[in-house]
A and B are shown apart, each in its own frame.
Chain A
Amino acid sequence: MTYSEFLAEFGGRFLDGSLFTVAQFVLSAALAIVIALGFGLLKLARHAVARGVATLYIELFRGTSLLVQLYWIFFVLPLFGLTLEKFTAGFLAVGMNLGAYGAELVRGAVRSVPKGQWEAAYALSMSPARRMWRIILPQALVLMLPGWGNLLIELLKATALVSLISVTDLMFEAKQINSTTFLSIQAFGTALVIYYIFARFLLTPLMRWLERTMARRIGKA
C-alpha cells in the first residue's frame, strides 16, 4: 500500500480524530486559564488560609503525573458517586493539571508588575478589584504570554493521554489504525506530523500574534 492509498483510506479517520483533539484542546485550555487565574491570584491573597488552599492545589497537581490524575478522575471518582463521561473526564484532567502550572505563571507575572503601578492605582483610590482588572492584569498578561505559549503546547501534547481512557482523539485513531493494518510508521508517523503542524504552524504563530497585539495595545511595542 503506497502512502497516498493509505491516506485515501484512513485520512477521514485522522480528520475525525484531529477534531476530537482540537475539541479537547480548546476545552482544557479554557479550563486551565480559568484555574490558573483563580489559583494564581489566590496564591497572592493576604489570607494565609486562601494561600494555603492555592498551594495545596498547585502542589497536588504538579507533584503527581497527569496520567495518574486522569485515571483517578475516570476510575476512582465514580466510587464516590461522581461518574464522568470519558470525554468530560479527559478535558477536566488535562485542564486541571495544566491549570496548576499556569497558576505559577499568573502569580509570577502579577508579582513582576512594577510596584509603582500598584501605588498609582491606590493613589487614584481605585478599589482592589478595579485595580487588579484595569491596571495590574493587563500588564501581567503581556508578561506571561510567552510562558503561556509554551504551556499551551504542553497542553496540546497532554491531550494525547485522553486516548488512554478511549476518547477517540487523534492518538486513539492512530492506535486503532496501527492495530488493524500494522502499518506503524504510517499510522503513528502521520499522527506525529499532524500534532507537529498544529503546534508549530497554528498554535505558535497565533501566540506570537497575540503577544505582539497585546504589547501594542498596552503601548509597549
Chain B
Amino acid sequence: MFDWRWDFVWEILPRLIAATGNTLMAAGAGYLIAVILGLVLALAQRTPLRPLTWIVREFVEFIRSTPLVLQIFFVFYVGPQFGIRLDPWTAGMIAIGLHYSAYLSEVYRGGLESVPKGQWEACASLSMSMRQTYVRVIIPQALPPSVAGMGNYLVGIFKDTPMLSVIGVAELMHTANAIGSEHYRFLEPFTLVGLIFLAISLPSAGLIRLFEVWVRRRVGID
C-alpha cells in the first residue's frame, strides 16, 4: 500500500523546484506591494481628516475579515466585466498584496502607537516638518517593534501563495496539480510540495527571529 516511487520523485523534482522559484517570486512581489501599501494605509489612518480615517479603517477591517481566495477571484474576474483584462499574475499580486497590506497596516499602526508622545512633542518644539518628524524620529523607533509582525506576515504570504493556483498562476501547487493529473499520481507531488514548504518556512521563521534581534540591537534597544 505504501506505493512511493523514487524514480517518479526524481523525474518531477526539477519541475517542482522551478515552480518553487515562481512561488518565491510571487511571495516576494506580493510582500513588496503589501509593505508599501500597508504603510500608506497606516499613515492614512493618522490624518486629521475624519472621513478618510474612517473609510480606510473600514476598508482594512473588510479586507481582514474576508477570505483571500475569494478576493483573488474577485480581482481576477471583476476586471473583464469592465473591459479590463488582468493576467493571472497581475491579478494575483494585486489581491495578495492588498490582503496583506491590510495586515501590515495593523502592524505599523501598533508600532507607531508605541512611540511615546514626548517624541512627537520634542519634534514639534524643534519645529521639525511632518516629513522630518516621521522619517528621522518616529519611523526609526516604530520599526523595531514592527519587525516581528512583518516577519510573520512574510512567512504568512509565502504559505498563502498556493491560493494563487486557483486562477492559474503557475506556482508550486498549480504545478503539483498539473503533474498529478498528467500522471494520475498525487502522492509524490503533493507530499513533495508539503516538504518544500516545510523546508523553506521553518528556517525562515528562525532567520526572522535572528533578524529581529539584530534590528533591536542596531537601533539600540537591547
Measured between beta carbons, the chain A residues less than 8 angstroms from B65 are: 153, 156-157, 195-196, 199-200
**Selected contact of A178 from candidates B67, B73, B197, CB within 8 Å:** B73
In the complex, B87 has a CB within 8 A of chain A: no
Among B13-21, B31-39, B119-127, B155-163, the one that faces the other chain is: B155-163
Say if the beta carbon of B74 comes within 8 Å of chain A. yes
A116 in the interface, Cβ–Cβ < 8 Å?
Answer: no
> Taking A171-B67, A184-B78 as contacts, is the C-beta distance between A65 and B73 under 8 angstroms?
no
Interface size class of B (residues with CB under 8 A): 35 or more
- Chain A residues with Cβ under 8 A from B187's Cβ? 76, 79
Q: Does A131 contact B (CB under 8 A)?
A: no
Given contacts A68-B162, A192-B74, contact A199 B66 (CB under 8 A): yes
A174-B70 contact in complex given A184-B78, A200-B65, C-beta closer than 8 Å: yes
**Bound form: Cα–Cα A189–B2 in Å:** 45
Cβ of A184 and Cβ of B81 under 8 Å apart? Answer: yes
Q: For window 164-193 of chain A, which residues contact chain B by CB distance below 8 Å? A: 164, 171, 174-175, 178, 182-185, 188-189, 191-192
Q: Which residues of B contact A183 (CB under 8 A)?
A: 81
Bound-complex Cα distance A159 to B162 (A): 15
B70 near A160 with CB under 8 A, answer yes
Stretch at the interface among A44-52, A56-64, A105-113, A117-125: A56-64
CA distance A174 to B67 in the complex (A): 13
Q: Does B7 contact A (CB under 8 A)?
A: no
Chain A interface bracket (under 10, 10 to 19, 20 to 34, 35 or more): 35 or more
B73 and A174 form a contact (CB under 8 A): yes
A133 proximal to B (CB < 8 A): no
Nearest chain A residue, comparing its CB with the CB of B172: A68
Neighbouring B residues of A59 by C-beta, 8 Å: 198, 202
Q: B77: nearest residue on chain A (CB-CB)? A: A184
Q: Per DSSP, are chain A's interface residues mostly helix, strand or loop, or mixed? A: helix
Q: B186 CB to closest chain A CB, in angstroms?
A: 4
Cβ contacts A178-219/B at 8 Å (1 or 0 each): 100011110011011001100110000000000000000000
Interface presence of A132 (CB below 8 A):
no
Partner of A67, one of B1, B70, B162, B201: B162
Residues 160-203 of B, flagged 1 when their CB comes within 8 A of A and 0 if not, give: 11110110000001000100100000110011011001100110
Interface status of A128 (Cβ within 8 A of chain B): no
Contact of B80 with A by CB under 8 A = yes
Q: Using Cβ atoms and an 8 Å threshold, which residues of chain B touch A182?
A: 81
Q: Which residues of chain B come closer than 8 Å to A163, judged between CB atoms? A: 69
A64 close to B159 (CB less than 8 A): yes
Residues of A within 8 A of B70 (CB): 160, 171, 174, 188, 191-192, 195
A59-B202, A153-B65, A157-B67 known; A188+B73 contact, CB < 8 A: yes
Known: A171-B67, A192-B70. 13 other contacts (CB 8 A): A68-B194, A75-B186, A158-B67, A159-B67, A160-B70, A174-B73, A178-B77, A184-B73, A184-B77, A185-B81, A188-B77, A195-B66, A196-B65
Pull 22 A–B residue pairs with CB atoms less than 8 Å apart, ordered by A.
A64-B201, A67-B165, A68-B193, A71-B186, A76-B186, A76-B187, A76-B190, A79-B3, A153-B65, A160-B67, A161-B69, A163-B69, A174-B70, A174-B73, A178-B73, A183-B81, A184-B73, A184-B78, A188-B70, A192-B71, A196-B62, A196-B66
